[in-house]
A and B are shown apart, each in its own frame.
Chain A
Amino acid sequence: MCGLVLRVNTDVTLHHVRMVTLDDPDFAGTYTVEPHSDGTLILEPVDDDVGPFAATLLRRAGARPLTPKEFAERFGDLPTDDEG
């Protein structure tokens, strides 16, 4: 696991001694801070910091998930990439 180096020009808000919020386009979010044996600080995203789950989002939209067959019929012709 690699440490994240904090730049001086990044806005950092301390919630308490083991949590920070970064306001940066690439690293925005709230992290727990854990000291590593080599002296670096490891920042882990806070697990509950992602808002509502997919099932809630679909329910709020009045929608249901498509079945794999339905998805293939509707979108099977669309391209993929190697990202995620």
Chain B
Amino acid sequence: MTRRRAARSVGARFDADAFESDVGRLRADSRARRVAEEARAAFTGEGVERTELVRCAAEGRDGTRLAGCLKAYLPLGESERPFRMVLIAGGGEAGLELVYLAFGVGDQPRASHAPSAYAIAHRRLHGRWPSL
């Protein structure tokens, strides 16, 4: 059972500073915070099932460039999943791993200037916000 799960999932690591930067600012009782923390607990303990992973766009329509990154739609197991967790694939001594890169909504309302999960991930990858 353990061997089968390992083949179907990829281990994940979460940097406390990055996670806190994205999630710590949310209200303690907010749905977004609960979703992010539940995902971190699940992914840290069991890894991320490959069936939950979607490749990010190398050239996104929102101006983001996220080659080498993957995302999970959250919350897991629900039909409505507005949140995204972006992870960057890396190789280490433990083998293939996913490293937490960003959390947020996938598609911000048009009038919003708050960054999406993709924009935060782009900023962390390229050092600046995406531009269209």
Contacts and interface: CB of A to CB of B under 8 A. Distances in A.
B93 to A, nearest CB: 6
B77 interface: no
B112 A71 contact: no
A84 B118 contact: yes
A42 B90 CA distance: 38
Interface in B76-126: 84, 88-94, 96-97, 99-101, 105-116, 118-121, 123-125
Interface stretch (B1-9, B24-32, B37-45): B24-32
Contact of B112 (A27, A49, A60, A83): A27
Nearest to B66: A84
A28 B99 CA distance: 23
Nearest to B70: A75
Contacts of B57: 80, 82-84
Contact of A25 (B13, B26, B88, B111): B26
A50 B70 contact: no
Nearest to B84: A83
Interface in A1-46: 2-5, 11, 21-31, 42-45
A47 B105 CA distance: 18
Contact of B13 (A22, A28, A53, A61): A61
Given A42-B113, A44-B113, A57 B68 contact: no
Given A4-B113, A57-B15, 8 more contacts: A22-B114, A27-B112, A45-B114, A45-B115, A63-B13, A66-B90, A75-B55, A84-B56
